[in-house]
Amino acid sequence: MTTKETSREIEVINAPWHKEVTISESIYEGGFKMFHVRIKEGKRFTDLELDAETAARIAELMGTWAKDNAPG
């Protein structure tokens, strides 16, 4: 099992419906990095760790959706 060595918080975002999204980077032994998303909803937490390829694909989809649904 790979052990997490460090974690670096990148940003905390206040999202709709009283949700808080924390974006951070987790670094595991050997230098392996994961993009970490934590969504806090009240007392509940959802954690998602993504490799670079998956994070890039999700970023692409989110960017397209945001552009298509931007007000104005």
Residue 1 pLDDT grade (very low, low, confident, very high; cuts 50, 70, 90):
low
In 1-72 the beta strands, taken as DSSP E runs, fall at: 4-15, 19-28, 33-41, 44-50
Radius of gyration of the chain (CA): 14
Structure confidence by residue, pLDDT tens digits, 43-67: 999 999 999 999 999 999 999 999 9
- Residue 62 burial by CB count (10 A; 0-12/13-18/19+): exposed, middle or buried? exposed
Q: Is 0.95 surpassed by the pTM of this model? A: no
Give residue 5's pLDDT. 85
Measured CA to CA, the distance from residue 61 to residue 24 in angstroms comes to 20
